[in-house]
Structure 1
Amino acid sequence: MKQFELGKYKGLNVDRFDVSVKEEELNEALNYVKKSLDEIQVEKNEPIETGDYVIVNFEGTENGKTVPKFRERSFKFRLGDENVLQEFSANLLGKKMGETVIFETSIQPVLLEYQALWGQLITFSVEIVKVYCIKEPELTDDMIRKIEPRVKTLQELKEFLAAEINQEKKAIARAANIEKVFQALADQSKYEFDEETLKQAAENLYRKFAEELKAVHDMELIHYLMQRKITADELLAECKEEAAKIILGEKILDAVIQAEGIQLTDEEMKQAKEQLKKRKSQQDNQAADLAGELKMLETQQLRRTAMDFLLEANLAKG
């Protein structure tokens, strides 16, 4: 970086990422739990309404001859579904289980498999075998205990889900808060990138991304680009933007470490050495630069400590 000058880095009063659990989020979680339960079918003897489920045997004939594509038993559909002939819903509406409905219609199919029959006049005979509606499962105490043994009542389940949502949002919040604080710090600081260094960092990120894409997802970079409908140059531009954030972020953290005199505790130093020892025991190359790697681990820990300091010093209270 050609130039860097740390600006105001404390007391910026940046709004925190909201981790409170909203009522709609809790309701969504409860609905997800309900959908995981077996549906409850309630048989109906009343006239069929839109939204009811029906099981029918039907046969379609043209000039007295059966049309094979329009002959089926135990056909299940929901009245009003768009992927079923609209005439089925229209002619079954108001009828009851056990009745047989006969109607004539000119075919205007919505499914491709019936396109060849477009415009043909078909007489349908539809036997209504069963009519039922789907009832939303109730979260009784017995059902709740089966779902989650750690809770006993609906209220306890709500509290459990709220805690789970809160933990998930807290995990997301750190990254979101870091992004907010670093943007505020960048606005306060003066800096100028060395273009050659930035270009090299972007290319390194590009290559690393391509390697991880292949190793983790078994996907070639060209397929990823086609999937996103972007060019290699556009991806490289994204990498350059990310590289700029990383370089600037490290400059800010290192400047704060120096300004605040942040040092590792004896316990943190011990953890860094143990981490290095464990890493080396899992690698074949024992001749690596241990001092250099230890220094890197120490730098990472110092930057994490500085990060925590900046979050505490700049996020709005509450």
Structure 2
Amino acid sequence: MHEIKLGSYKGLKLPPVSMFSEDDLNLGAREAVKKLANQWAKNNMPAVYGDEVVIGLRAECDNMFVPELSNSNLKFTLGDPSVLEAFSQIINHKAGDDLVLSVTFPEGFTVERMGGKTVTFQIAIHEVNHRLPVELSDEIARQINPEVSGIDELQANLRKIISENWLQKIKEERIRSMIDAIASGSEYTLDQKEFQEVLDILNAQSQKELFSSGNPQNLEALMSGDNRMFETKNMALAEKTLVEELILTEIARLENIDISPEEIQEAKSFFLKTSPDKTQFSQLFPNDEFLGDYLFREKIIHALWKWNGCDIYGKSDYERIFTFQ
């Protein structure tokens, strides 16, 4: 059984947090617009001379497949003199287009059996990487996001998203610093059986992620049973997870913090009203118990947020759900 003797958790001296400025937001929004525009161009603008393309290439001659001249992922620059001139016909086509080219090779061609023969190339354009950045217009902005009127509104929307993401990151850093500060002033003993159970779960997740990565070195290490690459990290994470749970549970006991059935129903109404994806809500909170556990943690964090002057960084997630006067 875990045990904890809680240290101070109010009026903590926390390290300063670097806030972002209006200039940071404006720059971030401009860069985000450029990134979206370039991605749109890759998928929608036709290739021009000097662009890099990635194509799938299937060569056939006399109704027979020619493996020497085929390539599922050929990358080259349009206009490169080392590439067949016929491939310049890709110009004015875009990603997703297919075309067929016929090329008659001269006698003495590198692939001897193709000398003097006509080869048919079936081409699938996978990707077009434009040499020059796209000049964004209101029309392109509307194609990127049909709900905006033009560039200014697209940039304003991205600015808001970036601001929310940065603020959320700052909040997460403040929560982590609060928990770490409380832990450093507390005394605790972890139940080794429960610690091992959490560690086993984390290790299993790490193994699954490494297997899916396809990295040969990772796979070789996993097949040999060498878990050192993630076990040390997971041991620290398991301890942090259990200590945080201990701290929050003890604070809730001392401060008589609990979640009522009415709060659960109010939060459910809030999420279902504000979330565009009802399926995602069901996946996150398959029943009231999962939602109650989430709210319980957020309510304690909200209290810590107030006790330690962190409300200057914006509303806590708990406060976002419930209305406070």
TM range (shorter): 0.5 to 0.7
Deviation (angstroms), 1:40: 8.2
Q: Deviations over 1:113-133 (max 9, x none)?
A: 9xxxxxxxxxxxxxxxxxxx9
Q: Deviations over 1:15-51 (max 9, x none)?
A: 45746653442232122123122278599xxxxxxxx
What amino acid does structure 2 have at the position aligned with 1:175? E
1:145 equivalent in alignment to 2:113? no
Partner of 1:55: 79
- The correspondence of residues 1-318 of structure 1 with structure 2, limited to 5 A, is 3-12=3-12, 14=14, 15-16=16-17, 18=19, 21-35=24-38, 36-37=40-41, 38=45, 55=79, 72-73=84-85, 135-195=132-192, 197-207=194-204, 209-210=206-207, 213=209, 217=212, 223-224=218-219, 226=221, 231-270=226-265, 298-314=292-308, 315=310, 317-318=312-313
Within 1, Cα distance between the matches of 2:179 and 2:258?
21
Looking at secondary structure, tell me which structure has more strand per residue: 1
TM-score (norm 2): 0.52
Q: Deviations over 1:273-297 (max 9, x none)?
A: 99xxxxxxx9xxxxxxxxxx98786
Within 1, Cα distance between the matches of 2:84 and 2:233?
55
Within 1, Cα distance between the matches of 2:261 and 2:307?
24
The answer to whether the 8 A contact 1:198-1:244 is kept is yes
Please give the secondary structure, in 2, of the residue aligned with 1:22: helix
The answer to whether the 8 A contact 1:139-1:154 is kept is yes
Within 1, Cα distance between the matches of 2:194 and 2:229?
19
Q: Which runs of 5+ in 1 are unaligned?
A: 44-52, 59-69, 77-112, 114-132, 275-281, 283-292
Deviation (angstroms), 1:316: 6.5
What percentage of aligned pairs have identical amino acids?
20
The answer to whether the 8 A contact 1:264-1:302 is kept is yes
Q: Deviations over 1:53-97 (max 9, x none)?
A: 8737x6xxxxxxxxxxx7842577xxxxxxxxxxxxxxxxxxxxx
Deviation (angstroms), 1:240: 1.7
The answer to whether the 8 A contact 1:40-1:135 is kept is no
Deviation (angstroms), 1:156: 2.1
CA separation of 1:230 and 1:171: change in aligned 2, threshold 3 A: farther
Within 2, Cα distance between the matches of 1:142 and 1:295?
48
Within 2, Cα distance between the matches of 1:135 and 1:218?
33
Alignment size in residue pairs: 222
* Bigger RCO of structures 1 and 2 (CA < 8 A, at least 6 apart): 1
What amino acid does structure 2 have at the position aligned with 1:10? K
CA separation of 1:39 and 1:188: change in aligned 2, threshold 3 A: farther
Deviation (angstroms), 1:232: 1.2
Please give the secondary structure, in 2, of the residue aligned with 1:191: strand
CA separation of 1:40 and 1:27: change in aligned 2, threshold 3 A: farther
Q: Which runs of 5+ in 2 are unaligned?
A: 51-76, 89-109, 111-129, 270-281, 314-325
What amino acid does structure 2 have at the position aligned with 1:191? Y
Within 2, Cα distance between the matches of 1:213 and 1:207?
9
What amino acid does structure 1 have at the position aligned with 2:37? K
Alignment RMSD, CA only? 4.5
Q: Deviations over 1:148-201 (max 9, x none)?
A: 233224322221110122233344444333222211221232224345553454
The answer to whether the 8 A contact 1:10-1:310 is kept is yes
What amino acid does structure 2 have at the position aligned with 1:255? E
The answer to whether the 8 A contact 2:49-2:79 is kept is no
Within 1, Cα distance between the matches of 2:230 and 2:140?
50
